[in-house]
Amino acid sequence: MSIIAQHGDIFIILACVFGFFMAWGVGANDVANAMGTSVGSRAITIKQAIFIAVIFEFLGAWLAGGQVTETIRKGIIDPALLESDPQLLVYGMLASLLAAGTWLLVASMRGWPVSTTHSIVGAIVGFAMAGLGLEAVGWGKVGQIAASWVVSPLMSGSIAFMLFKSVQHLIFENRDPFAAAKRYVPMYIFLVGFIVAMVTLTKGLKHVGFDLSFGVSLAYAVLIGLAVMALGGVLERRVSRNRSEDDAFGFGGVERVFAVLMLFTACAMAFAHGSNDVANAVGPLAAVISVVYSHGDVGGASLVPWWVLVLGGGGIVVGLVTYGHKVIATVGTGITELTPSRGFAATLAAATTVVLASGTGLPISTTHTLVGAVLGVGLARGMAALNLRVIGTIVMSWLITLPAGAFLAIMFFFMFKGMFG
């Protein structure tokens, strides 16, 4: 009797527990990144952020996160090598979930924004090296992922720098900043709607079977952008000019107009993130379920049962509610001081980079992109506006993520192998 037939139920229970733990880590760490700019700029409170994230992350995970996750994550391992020993894949995926979850727990307790994508990639590389040998790892793919670490923060930082400079030039340097904000902010709202619709249509909906061509996605995104712009215009009319005593230039009203805009970017970022990153927790879980149900067939595509996505979405929500505040504080206030206009430039730049990256198929980390964008906004205000000590800690935690994930996964892999034979 094969190991999988003998211990199948135990494997599925373990996979669900570890998958929930990993999703908890995604919620505590990654979602906090997506929300950090909105909370840090005081456009929304922490309670509102958690409320938005709970709804939109869950919707993103459930509506757009499912169907077929690539059986073995992102071409890192060659499945043909596992056909004779399918239980090794089960051990490896369990070890990867537990390792990535453990690392995210450590990082979230410390308030470091690390990348969940990289933790799970590191973990899978570790188990493949230990269990199958060095030749089992697709090093080309791993190299691409490593390249995206450098490319994504640079790209989003540059976009955020230019966006914030345009806000400074068009609005803050205007004779009447408030009137200028009323005039130009609808254009920025259109950009947000358009770009987020593009992210969702190109990156999110493929799983649901809506595989739209680039041209069709573009047309839909323009329509959605115009609709969001109309809604933003209605909300923006309510913002009055009333100045406080200490607001000599009338910038307070401008920031209130941008706070309306940040509401849109927060919802959007949460939806796109839920649809994209829930796969980090659910991918390995789906692989285990598929191997156990098919009695050891490694090659088949793993169809994700609906309850797995709900488990992933639920784990993300619990993580955000219990531990998310620490990473939110680092991204939102630790790197540089954010106001709604700065937070908007950072969030939009990050979303744009994700769209462009998913168009080219580069594996990219939301975390790196967003931190890069916040840095870009800080730089637009001059080097003195950046907190270099916090930035050093963040970069350090990024460098440790892959080896930490790999090391933990190797340890857990041999532990499971020893337990089940």
CA–CA distance, 194 with 228 (Å, rounded to integer): 8
Using CB atoms within 10 A of its CB, is residue 420 exposed (0-12), middle (13-18) or buried (19+)?
Answer: middle
pLDDT reported for residue 298: 67
CA–CA distance, 201 with 272 (Å, rounded to integer): 10
pTM here? 0.78
pLDDT reported for residue 250: 60
> How do residues 318-329 score in pLDDT, each as one tens digit?
888 887 777 777
Q: What is the DSSP string of 99-155?
A: HHHHHHHHHHHHT----HHHHHHHHHHHHHHHHH-GGGB-HHHHHHHHHHHHHHHHH
What pairs with residue 77 in β-bridges?
137
Q: What is the DSSP string of 290-330?
A: HHHHTTS--SS-EEPPHHHHHHHHHHHHHHHHHHHHHHHHI
> How do residues 293-336 score in pLDDT, each as one tens digit?
877 676 666 566 778 878 888 888 888 888 777 777 777 666 67
Positive or negative, the Cα torsion across 396, 397, 403, 408? Answer: positive
Domain residue spans in the chain?
3-420
Please, which residues have CB within 8 angstroms of residue 77's CB and are 6 or more apart in sequence?
92, 124, 128, 132, 136, 137, 138
pLDDT reported for residue 208: 58
Taking 50 as the pLDDT cut, the residues of the chain under it are: 1, 67-69, 71-72
CA–CA distance, 157 with 147 (Å, rounded to integer): 16
Q: What is the DSSP string of 338-396?
A: --HHHHHHHHHHHHHHHHHHHHHT----HHHHHHHHHHHHHHHT-GGGS-HHHHHHHHH
